[in-house]
Amino acid sequence: MKVIQTEIPGVLILEPQVFKDGRGFFMETYQKRKYEEAGITTSFVQDNLSFSTKNTLRGLHYQYPHGQAKLVQVLQGSVLDVAVDIRRGSPSFGKWVSVELSDTNKRQFFIPSGFAHGFIVLTETATFNYKCSDFYSPADEQGIIFSDSDLDIHWPSGEYILSEKDTQYPRLHDISEEHLPEYV
């Protein structure tokens, strides 16, 4: 497995080894020892699967105080995936990293706890799979508006399909510190 460091320490792009032949391909999507060797010692407790149509933008979501680290991957289609550091006191607070994830490149994206996460579907449809380090907690669900001008995330242009909830989130600088994780 190839591990690619990003501009934000701890946020990783992973390229699992893919074995192809005339029948198709095989790859490990998770193997605890290999991921620990890559520096991912997170225990995952929940897997989620979503299916979305082109231009669907989901995010930017996070949980607090029960944060979730995520290991994300696209099984079908292509998305632009974004992680935003929202840990108060972090040297990279408010900075973001993005990566294209697709069924072609088979990349994975590891997002530590303390980050907001979102993605936009680039193809007609996309099936998105992710492992989480803590259980979904509706009471802890929070978010940041995807179009926060201070973050200046470079989303592809177009007409976005958003949930009502995702259109109502505040900008990062409008969130009180007690609703943001702390950098350790």
Tens digit of pLDDT at every position of the chain (184 positions) = 999 999 999 999 999 999 999 999 999 999 999 999 999 999 999 999 999 999 999 999 999 999 999 999 999 999 999 999 999 999 999 999 999 999 999 999 999 999 999 999 999 999 999 999 999 999 999 999 999 999 999 999 999 999 999 999 999 999 999 999 999 8
Q: Is 130 a catalytic residue?
A: yes
91: in domain:
yes
Q: Which two tokens stand for residue 115?
A: 């980050």
| Catalytic member of 35, 61, 62, 117 | 61
127: in domain:
yes
Q: Which two tokens stand for residue 57?
A: 């933008």
Tell me the percentage of the chain whose pLDDT exceeds 70: 100
Residue found under tokens 């934000």: 8
180: in domain:
no
Q: What pTM, to 2 d.p., does this model score?
A: 0.96
The CATH number of whichever domain residue 135 belongs to comes to: 2.60.120.10
Residue found under tokens 């001008």: 149
For residues 77 and 122, give the distance between their C-alpha atoms in angstroms, rounded to a whole number.
Answer: 8
102: in domain:
yes
Number of domains in the chain: 1
| Catalytic member of 35, 62, 64, 130 | 130
**DSSP string covering 72-101:** EEEEESEEEEEEEE--BT-TTTT-EEEEEE
71: in domain:
yes
For residues 80 and 120, give the distance between their C-alpha atoms in angstroms, rounded to a whole number.
Answer: 5
Domain extent at residue 127 = 2-18+42-171
Does the CA dihedral 165-182-64-6 come out positive or negative?
positive
177: in domain:
no
Averaged pLDDT of the chain: 97
Q: Is 64 a catalytic residue?
A: no
Q: How many H helices and E strands in the chain? A: 2, 13
